[in-house]
Every structure is written in C-alpha cells, then in structure tokens.
C-alpha cells in the first residue's frame, strides 16, 4: 500500500518538476534571446556609424571582450577582427549573415558551435562603402543552462522523494487505519469510507449465509447424534485410512472402549481376525458381513464402504444383536425336528400293524388287537396335531374373545371330565377355594387347567391325590394344582415348558402325552400376562401355581 | 516430510497390533484344538504361524526403512527399537502355538482326562498374550506391569502340571509318550507366558524409556 502510494506521489512530483523546468527554461530562453538580439542590433548600428566616420581607428580603439566585431570588405576579405588576426582569416563571403547584408543591407544568423553547448549569434550590416560590419556574441544553449541547474534540481528532487515517502507513509497509514479497525463480525455497524459499503454489505450477507448454514449443519449433527446415541445397534464410522470418526454409545459398550478412541485406528479397538478380513473385503467389494459372539451375545456385523463420486471416503460398521433371532431359529429348527419325529412314530406303528395284517401274518384272533392299536395311534396323531394347531394359533397371537371366567367353576367342570381317568388310577380329585373370577379367554384357560390336571393325574402314583385350589387375593387370583406324584427334579424344572421336552428321555408312550401340554399352558398363561411357579420335589409331588392379575 | 514419517509410524503401530492379534488367534486356536482334540483346527495353526513369520519380516523391513530414512529420535526411536524386539517374541509365540498344534495332531484325539489343569493354564496364557497386546495398543504401563506379575501364575501352573504328570506316571494310568507330550505342551505354554512378559517389558520401555529391572 505504502509503496504504491509512494510511487504515484513521486511520479506526479517528478512530472511536475520536469515539465515546469522545461517550460520555464524555454520561455526565459526565448525572452532573453530576443533581448540580446535587440541589444546586439543597437550595438551594431552604433558601431557601424562610428566605423563609417572613424574607420579602422575606431575599431582598433574599441576594447570589447563581450562582443566580437568583424569588418569584412565587400569581396569577403576580412579587414578587421577584434578577437583574431584578420589576415589569417579565410574569406567570409559565403557566410549567411554577410551574404544577406551584402544583398539587403542587414543580415543575421545563429550558428551552433561544435560542442553544442554554445551558440553564436551574428548580426551584420552594410556600411556605406559596401563593406560589411558584423557583430557576434556567444551565449549558452538551453541544454547548458539546464546542466548548470543540475545541482539545485537534484536537491529539489531528493527533497521531493523524501517528502513523498513521508507523505505516502502517512497517507497509507491513515487510509488503512479505519480498515484495520473494521469490526468484521458486525460489518454493518462500521462507519468508514463510503466506498467500502458494498464490501461491508457483501460481508454481512456472507455472515448471514454462514450462520444459517452452520445452524443447519448443527441441526443435522444433533439429529445424527440423537439417532446414534439412542439406537440399540452399534454404529462406527471410519475414514478412508481406517481411523474412527464417530462411535456411538452402543458400539463403545460392544467394543469396551471410551470416547477417546476417536481418531485412533479401528484396529486398536477391535483386532480380531474376522473383523480384519471383513474390513479388507468391504474395502475391495464394497460390502461384507459376518457373525460373531461378543460379550456372550451373538452379533451380526455389516460393513459398507462409503463411496462418493467414485472416491472412497470411509467405512460404516453396523452391529446388531441377533441373539434372540439366533435362538428363535434354533428353537424353530428343534421344533420342526421334534414335530416330524413325533408325527412319524405313531404313523410307523400304524404302517407296521397294517403291513402285518396285509401279509396275513396276524392270526384272526389278534386282528382286533391290531386294529385297536391302529386306532389308538391314529387318535394319538390327531391329538398331537390338535395340540400343534393350538400352539401355532397362540404363536400367531390372534385376538380372542375375552370374558369373565370363574376359575373355580372351570376347574370343577374339568375335574368332572377327568374323573374317569382319575378313577382308573384310583386318584382322588378335589377342587377347593374361592370363586376366582378373571377376565380372560375361556378356551385358553380351559387348556391351562385341563393340561395341569391331566398331567397331575398322569404322573400320580396309584392311590394318590390331586388337589386344585383357587385363591382370590385383592389383585391376583392364584390357581394351584397339587399332586403326590413322581415330582420333577430341579434340573428339569426350567425345561418342562419347552416343546416336546420330556423328563423321561425314552419318550415313553406309557403316559400317553404329546409333550406339548405344558408348552400350551405356558403360552396360554403368557397370553393372559400371568406367571407360573413350579414347586416340586422328586418322588414327593409337585405344586404348579398359576398367578393371574385381575 | 514429518507428515510422512508420522504416517509411517502409524502404519507400523497398526501392523504390530495386527501381528499381536494374529498371535492371539494362533494360540487360541492351538488351545482350542488341544481341549477339543480337533485335528483340523490344529492343522490351521501352521498356516497362522507362517503368516506371523511373514508379518515379522514385513515389520522388520518397515522398521529398518524408518531408521535409515527418517533418523527418528526419543520416543519414536524407542517405539521402533521396541517394535524390533517385540516382533521376535511374537514370532516365537506363533512358533510355539504351531508346536502345540503339532503335538495335538499326534495325540489323535487323546483326551486330557485328569489334566484339566492344562486347559486352565492355556486360558491364563492366552489372557497374558491378549493383555500384553492390549498394553501395547493402549500404551498402558499399568496393564503391562500386571502382565509381568501374572507370569508367576503361569509358572505356578507349570509346576502343578508337572506334579500331575508325575502322579499319572506313578499311578501307571498314562503311557510314557502321552505324559511327555503333555509336559512339552505345558512347557510351551510356560514359554509363551515368558514371551508375553517380554512384550510387556518392551511396552514399558517404549513408553517410559526405562527397562524394568529383572
């Protein structure tokens, strides 16, 4: 800034200086030249009249150092010269001023000396006798004058430089000072040069734009944070060198790390081989996934490369807890295997019996026994299928009709139905307690009580007893079925509600159950948001209580 | 120039972690093969060990390049020299895991009946290796010191295994070859524990600049 101002000031100063020197020198030179010429003419006319009267005597008596007088005869021969020996001088006939004077009476000319620094002015006049008297004077040229002034000019020039430097510095400072003092955070509140207001307006507009964009960005970041902080899935973002950009709390828990791992390589957080291989694969193919056990849970890891405009920007790692899904899958597989097995057993028995009869191996008196077996197995199959249908209905979670059901009345009804079976094993069957009305699905509650009582009778020893009691409390109804049967050992108590689980591994047909009864009980109770409590001791008996909240 | 150096150091750090992880996996596979008698898994450990050897050479040349081209000083120099020492220990761990796996293939599914203590010893050793690599990853001196003290536990396990084997022999319930194999395996685990201790010591050196007094 300063140097620019200095340059312009200096160039103006130099231009003014030079032009004024040229103009002044020119004007004065012209003026003084004219004055000198007139003086010369006057001198010449005086000298001419004196020469005409006194001749050479006058000229010789004249003592002139300033002027040079030359007397030339009409044929050009020099008769006298005040500064040189006349006889040694050449003929002056062809000199311009002499020629002019010989013709018109007066003549004048200006000639430059060989050094260019001097100029000689000649004036000539014809005397009466035809000879010519010439006067001449030397004067300095304009160039010499200027050269003579070189010293003062240089001084002025130096002063001009110093002055302009100082001025430029001050000016630059004064111009820049308000600019430096500009408050760019509040551009519209500045009071400076008018010329700056477009700039300030522009800055103000950009300020506003940046502010609004920052706000939008912050909102988006907040949204992103809110989502990632609250999501159950673990999410990690990596940059293209594998360093962690962002890691949500779920992921921090999963990998046992803190927030300070941001900026570190992901390898420092998880260095297992399958993760390394998956990262490599995702880098090449764009996506990869794998399953792994971590913190005793099963996780599915999904890795995706982030591409934008054909450039790799990093990686997203997403981990879901799939423990439940894996367990459910396992259960389903087990269930399918069990169902097929359970369905196959009676069918095999039916086919066997039928084949024996078909081939005529069975004696006539045995035929009814075989047919009886076929019927028994077929009806077993039907019960089994019924149970499965019931279970799958409950699995589907179809809405069923709710109504007020008295557990006491229901239990009595069931005991009536089961009285024959009980009599066969000589088991006493008794229902005691309160009315126990709850709001529920009658059909399901029937299944619960029926299956519990059925089991109690089935696993009772001969001559045992089964007691059903309904106890009503302020906000719960408890139905418990107590038997004096074989009991369930503690290690089996958790598992008896699993489908097809049998305490007796031989799956004996002796008891005639399908292995689904308690599973149906569990689902039905869950449907009513109830609770099952098993209290049993091996060879002493079992109490299974079901708690319903009213 | 400096940026490039930092990048190379970062890369070196990454590679050491990777190699540590490879060792962890090799020894874990070897231990699993031992307890389950899985001969196929034991065969895989050999490939792991070869990969570890490869990695050692890679890291070695990486360290040499850094030393020659960048003339590191202070902490950086310590990291690189510690790395050079550490990879030797890691490579030995890989080799010993391979040796264990090789014995497992000879055992031919022979079970560790009466010698469950070897399984405990394996778990403890794996823990030590994992902790020493963790200490390197986190540059955690406390954890490294913990690893060094844990070496006594593994040494103790070794003497217990030894007594167990002596008992087996006096009871005549194990043949001589099997007893020797067991002894070798437990010795390998004990050596792996020592290597983990060395790694932990180098971690302490790279962070603090002082070698632990032995």
**Residue ranges of the domains in chain B?**
2-208
Inter-chain touch B137–A276, beta carbons under 8 Å: no
Cα distance between residue B142 and residue B146, in whole Å? 6
Residue B143 forms contact with A (CB below 8 Å): no
Residue of A nearest to B29 (CA): A273
Contact A462, A426 (CB under 8 A): yes
- Residue A482's domain spans which residues? 399-549
Instruction: Compute the nearest-CA separation of B190 from chain A (Å).
Output: 24
Residues A104 and A117 in one domain: yes
Q: How far is CA A13 from CA A10, A165, A167, in A?
A: 5, 11, 12
Same domain for A492 and A462: yes
Neighboring chain A residues of B140 at a CB cutoff of 8 Å: none
Position A58 in a domain: yes
Integer angstrom CA distances of residue A413 from A432, A460, B214: 13, 20, 84
Q: Provide the strand spans (E) within A242-399.
A: 244-247, 287-294, 297-308, 311-321
Closest Cα in chain B to A242: B14
pLDDT of B111 reads 63
The separation between CA A273 and the C-alpha centre of its own chain, rounded to angstroms, equals 30
What is the distance in angstroms between the Cα of A414 and the nearest Cα belonging to chain B? 53
Of A453, A451, A437, residue with least CA distance to A523: A451
**Residue with the larger pLDDT of the pair A116 and A430:** A430
Answer whether B21 sits within 8 Å of A271, measured CB to CB: yes
What is the mean predicted confidence (pLDDT) over A132-151?
82
Distance from CA of B136 to the nearest CA of A (A): 9
Inter-chain CB pairs, A–B, below 8 Å = 27
What pLDDT is recorded for position A216? Answer: 95
Residues A291 and A334 in one domain: no
Query: Which pLDDT score is estimated for B196?
Result: 92
Going by pLDDT thresholds of 50, 70 and 90, the confidence category of residue A308 is confident
Angle CA(B10)–CA(B14)–CA(B20) in degrees, nearest 5?
A: 145
Q: Is residue A391 located within the same domain as residue A403?
A: no
User: Same domain, yes or no, for A56 and A29?
Assistant: yes
Cβ pair B14:A267 closer than 8 A: yes
Which residues touch A246 (CB under 8 Å, ≥6 apart)?
A228, A235, A236, A237, A262
The helix (run of H) or strand (run of E) holding residue A147 is: helix A142-148
Q: Residue B169, Cα to own-chain centre: how many angstroms?
A: 30
Closest Cα in chain B, distance from residue A303 (Å) = 19
User: How far is the alpha carbon of A494 from chain B, nearest alpha carbon, in Å?
Assistant: 29
Between A74 and B90, name the one with better pLDDT: B90
CB contact under 8 A, A276 and B20: no
**Are A524 and A510 part of one and the same domain?**
yes
Q: CA torsion angle for B136, B139, B141, B143 (degrees, to 10)? A: -60
Over 90: is that where the pLDDT of A309 sits?
A: no
**Do A272 and B21 lie within an 8 Å CB cutoff?**
yes
Chain A hits for B24, CB-CB cut-off 8 Å, are: 271
pLDDT at A400 (0 to 100):
76
- State residue B57's pLDDT score: 92
Subunit contact A267:B17, Cβ cutoff 8 A: yes
Query: Is B138 within 8 Å of A273 when comparing Cβ atoms?
Result: no
Same-domain pairing of A526 and A425 = yes
Q: A287-326: buried (b, 16+ CB within 10 Å) or exposed (e) per residue?
A: ebeeeeebeeebbbbbbebeeeeeeeebbbbbbbbeeeeb
CA–CA gap between residue A479 and residue A453 (Å, rounded): 11
User: Exposure string (b/e) for B160-177, b if CB count within 10 Å is 16 or more?
Assistant: ebeebbeebeeeeebeee
Each residue's pLDDT tens digit, A440-476: 888 888 888 888 888 888 888 888 888 999 998 888 8
Chain B residues touching residue A271 (CB < 8 angstroms): 17-18, 20-21, 24, 133, 137
Q: Is B137 on the interface with A (CB under 8 A)?
A: yes
Residues in chain A: 550
Contact B21 A242 (CB under 8 A): no
Any A CB within 8 A of B22 CB: yes
Q: For residue B162, give how far its alpha carbon lies from the nearest alpha carbon of chain A (Å).
A: 33
Of A321, A353, A379, the residue at which a domain comes to its end is A321
Average pLDDT estimate for A495-517:
70
Do A317 and A333 share a domain, yes or no? no
Q: Is B111 helix (H, G, I), strand (E, B) or coil?
A: coil
Kindly state the DSSP code that residue A463 receives in the 8-state scheme.
Answer: T
| pLDDT of amino acid B10 | 84
Per CATH, which fold does B2-208 belong to?
Answer: Methane Monooxygenase Hydroxylase; Chain G, domain 1 (1.20.58)
**Which of left, alpha, beta for A414 (phi over 0: left; psi -120 to 50: alpha)?**
alpha
CB A147 within 8 A of CB A89: no
pLDDT at A419 exceeding the cut of 90 = no
- Distance CA(A517)–CA(A532), nearest Å, equals 14
A-side interface with B, Cβ within 8 Å?
A: 242, 265, 267-268, 271-273, 276
Low-confidence ranges of chain B (pLDDT < 50): none
Does A168 map to a domain? no
Look at residue A43 in the predicted model and tell me its pLDDT. 84
Question: Beta-carbon neighbour count of residue A462 at 10 Å?
Answer: 8
Q: What is the pLDDT of residue A220?
A: 93
How far is the alpha carbon of B38 from chain A, nearest alpha carbon, in Å? 20
Tens digits of residue pLDDT in B5-23: 888 888 888 888 888 888 8
pLDDT of residue B2: 60
- Judged by a CB distance cut-off of 8 A, whether residue B138 touches chain A is yes
Q: Do A268 and B18 touch (CB under 8 A)?
A: no
Both A408 and A492 in one domain: the answer is: yes
Residue A316 dihedral angles phi and psi, to the nearest 5°: -110, 130
- As a whole number of angstroms, the distance between CA B65 and CA B70 comes to 8
Whole-Å CA distances, B75 to A517, B9, B11: 71, 11, 16
Residues in chain A with CB shorter than 8 Å from the CB of B13 are 265
Give me the count of residues in chain B.
214
Please give the tally of structural domains in chain A: 5
Shared domain check, A410 and A383: no
User: How far apart, in whole angstroms, are the C-alpha atoms of residue A272 and residue A292?
Assistant: 10
First to last CA, chain B: 39
Rounded Cα gap, residues A82 and A93, in angstroms: 18
Backbone dihedral region for residue A152 (phi beyond 0: left; psi -120 to 50: alpha; all else: beta): alpha
What's the gap in Å between the CA of A267 and the closest CA on chain B?
Answer: 7
**In this predicted structure, what is the pLDDT of residue A217?**
95
Task: Note the pLDDT of residue A383.
Answer: 84
| Contact between chains at B137 and A268 (C-beta distance less than 8 A) | yes
ipTM topping 0.90: no
**A378 and A447, same domain (yes or no):** no
Q: Bridge-partner residues for A307, per DSSP?
A: A312
pLDDT at A211: 94
**For residue A257, what is the nearest residue in chain B, using CA coordinates?**
B138
- Looking at beta carbons, which residues of chain A come within 8 Å of B14? 242, 265, 267
DSSP secondary structure letters along B189-200: HHHHHHHHHHHH
Please name the residue that has the structure tokens 């150091």. Answer: B9
pLDDT-derived band at A4 (thresholds 50, 70, 90) equals: confident
CA–CA dist B209, B207 (Å, integer): 6
Q: Do A271 and B138 touch (CB under 8 A)?
A: no
Q: Is A402 left (phi over 0), alpha (psi -120 to 50) or beta?
A: beta
């Amino acid at each position: 800034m300063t140097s620019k101002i200095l340059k312009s000031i200096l160039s103006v100063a130099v231009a003014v200086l030079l032009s004024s020197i040229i103009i002044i020198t020119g004007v004065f030179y012209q003026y003084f030249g004219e004055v000198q010429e007139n003086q010369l003419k006057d001198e010449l006319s005086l000298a001419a009249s004196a020469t005409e009267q006194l001749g050479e005597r006058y000229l010789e008596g004249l003592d002139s150092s300033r002027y040079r007088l030359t007397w030339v005869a009409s044929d050009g021969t020099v008769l006298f010269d005040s500064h040189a020996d006349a006889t040694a001088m050449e003929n002056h006939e062809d000199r311009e001023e002499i020629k002019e004077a010989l013709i018109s009476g007066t003549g004048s000319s200006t000639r430059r000396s060989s050094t260019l620094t001097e100029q000689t002015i000649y004036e000539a006049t014809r005397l009466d006798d035809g000879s010519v008297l010439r006067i001449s004077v030397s004067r300095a040229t304009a160039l010499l004058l200027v050269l003579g002034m070189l010293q003062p000019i240089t001084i002025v020039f130096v002063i001009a430089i110093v002055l302009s430097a100082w001025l430029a510095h001050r000016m630059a400072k004064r111009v820049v000072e308000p600019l430096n003092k500009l408050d760019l955070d509040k551009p519209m509140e500045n009071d400076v040069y008018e010329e700056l207001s477009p700039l300030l307006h522009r800055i103000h507009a950009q300020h506003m734009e940046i502010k609004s964009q920052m706000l939008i960005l912050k909102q988006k970041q907040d949204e992103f944070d809110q989502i990632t902080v609250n999501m159950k899935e673990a999410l990690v973002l990596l940059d293209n060198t594998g360093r962690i950009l962002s890691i949500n709390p779920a992921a921090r828990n999963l990998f046992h790390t803190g927030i300070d791992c941001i900026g570190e390589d992901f390898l420092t957080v998880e260095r297992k081989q399958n993760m390394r291989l998956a990262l490599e694969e995702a880098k090449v193919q764009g996506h990869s996934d794998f399953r792994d056990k971590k913190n005793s849970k099963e996780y599915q890891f999904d890795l995706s490369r982030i591409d934008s405009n054909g450039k790799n920007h990093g990686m997203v790692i997403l981990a879901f807890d799939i423990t439940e899904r894996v367990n459910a899958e396992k259960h389903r597989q087990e269930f399918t295997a069990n169902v097929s097995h359970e369905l196959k057993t009676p069918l095999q028995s039916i086919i066997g019996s039928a084949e024996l009869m078909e081939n005529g191996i069975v004696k006539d008196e045995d035929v009814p026994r075989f047919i009886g077996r076929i019927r028994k197995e077929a009806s077993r199959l039907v019960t089994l299928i019924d149970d499965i249908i019931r279970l799958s209905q409950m699995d589907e979670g179809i809405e069923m009709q709710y109504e007020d059901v008295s557990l006491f009345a229901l239990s009595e009804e069931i005991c009536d139905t089961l009285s024959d079976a009980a009599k066969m094993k000589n088991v006493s069957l008794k229902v005691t307690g309160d009315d126990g009305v709850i709001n529920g699905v009658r059909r399901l509650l029937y299944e619960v009580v029926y299956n519990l009582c059925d089991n109690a009778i089935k696993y009772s020893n001969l001559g045992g007893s089964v007691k059903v009691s309904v106890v009503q409390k302020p906000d719960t109804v408890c139905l418990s079925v107590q038997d004096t049967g074989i009991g369930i050992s503690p290690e089996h108590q958790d598992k008896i509600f699993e489908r097809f689980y049998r305490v007796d591994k031989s799956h004996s047909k002796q008891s005639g159950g399908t292995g689904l009864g308690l599973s149906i009980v569990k689902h039905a109770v869950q449907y009513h948001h109830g609770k099952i409590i098993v209290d049993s001791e091996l060879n002493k008996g079992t109490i299974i209580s079901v708690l319903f909240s009213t | 120039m400096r940026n490039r150096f930092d990048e190379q150091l970062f890369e070196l750090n990454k590679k050491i972690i990777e190699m540590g992880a490879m060792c962890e996996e090799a020894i874990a596979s070897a231990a699993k093969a031992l307890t389950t008698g899985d001969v196929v898994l034991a065969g895989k450990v050999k490939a792991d060990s070869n990969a570890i050897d490869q990695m050692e050479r890679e890291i070695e040349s990486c360290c040499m390049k850094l030393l020659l081209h960048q003339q590191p000083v202070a902490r950086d120099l310590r990291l690189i020299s510690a790395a050079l020492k550490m990879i030797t220990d890691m490579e030995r761990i890989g080799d010993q895991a391979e040796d264990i796996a090789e014995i497992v293939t000879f055992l031919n599914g022979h079970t560790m009946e009466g010698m469950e203590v070897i399984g405990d010893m394996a778990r403890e050793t794996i823990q030590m290796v994992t902790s020493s690599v963790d200490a390197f990853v986190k540059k955690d001196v406390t954890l490294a010191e913990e690893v060094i003290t844990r070496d006594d536990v593994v040494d103790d396990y070794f003497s217990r295994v030894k007594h167990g084997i002596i008992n087996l022999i006096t009871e005549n319930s194990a043949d001589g070859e099997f007893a020797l194999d067991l002894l070798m395996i437990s010795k390998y685990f004990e050596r792996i524990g020592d290597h983990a201790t060395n790694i932990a010591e180098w971690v302490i050196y790279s962070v603090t600049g002082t070698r632990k007094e032995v």
